[in-house]
Amino acid sequence: MAEIPDVRPDQVWADNDKRSAGRRVRVVEIDGTHAVVVQVDARGVVDSRMRERRSRIRLDRFRPTSTGYRLVTGASPAPRPLGDRRTRMPWKTLLHWADNGTTIVDGRVYHLVKHQGDADDKGRPDPVETWYLHDDDGGRPADMRCSFTLGGDKRVARRLAELLLVDQWDRVYGRWAPDGGELWKSPAGEVRPLTELLRGEHRVPA
């Protein structure tokens, strides 16, 4: 059996297919046998003038063949999973999540729901299901979501929801951390890599 390529989030890969010359994608997350990617420009940045569209690519296509992909920018060493005891986690969650995926912040009920994203201009649905926050509508999730996608990992999605709802940090668009990952901004204007926030480093007293 062929070895599965070492594909990691935040890597940038170039499409080797001559029909897609110049196309580059950034890996957002690994979902089983596929990588969820977003198209980026030559700098590895999502064009802020266009709506971010995600797609899925089989992991075995990330090889430098004529129809595969070649690695352009590598990711920093993969962080340990959130549940890894060796990972430095200096804080505990401030939210309680019910079994039905709801939480309450300042008296307001939110639902964490996994579903497909928006359809494209031709009405084709986004094939990737990821987690989103929704307001409450009489005990059920409201039709309109109130967050961008929080990814396909439920544990990470809950952490991102807490960053949004409790810490009130928000994603920075059009800019990336030195390692190619996301940047987020605090209410006071402090900008930090998302990897630091997921480890809880923003809650450690200076």
How far is it, in rounded angstroms, from Cα 187 to Cα 167?
Answer: 8
Using CA atoms, how far residue 61 sits from 32, 53, 119, in Å, is: 14, 19, 25
What band does 185 get if pLDDT is binned at 50, 70 and 90? Answer: very high
What percent of the chain is predicted at pLDDT more than 70? 80
Do 163 and 156 contact (CB within 8 A), yes or no?
no
Average confidence (pLDDT) over 2-29: 82
Question: Domain extents for the chain?
Answer: 12-73, 102-203
What band does 81 get if pLDDT is binned at 50, 70 and 90? Answer: very low
pLDDT at 108 over 90: yes
Q: Which residue has the higher pLDDT, 61 or 46?
A: 61
HEC letters along 75-126: CCCCCCCCCCCCCCCCCCCCCCCCCCCEEEECCEEEEEEEEECCCCCCCCCC
How far is it, in rounded angstroms, from Cα 157 to Cα 174?
Answer: 21
Q: Beta strands 182-185 and 170-176: pairing type?
A: antiparallel
The pLDDT of residue 24 is: 87
How far is it, in rounded angstroms, from Cα 127 to Cα 91?
Answer: 35
For the chain, where are the alpha helices, taking DSSP H only?
Answer: 154-165, 194-198
Residue 165 CA to its chain's centroid (Å)? 17
Q: Which of 65-69, 87-91, 124-128 has the lowest mean pLDDT?
A: 87-91
Q: Which residue has the higher pLDDT, 46 or 75?
A: 46
Does the predicted TM-score (pTM) go above 0.95? no
Counting runs of H as helices and runs of E as strands, what totals does the chain give?
A: 2, 12
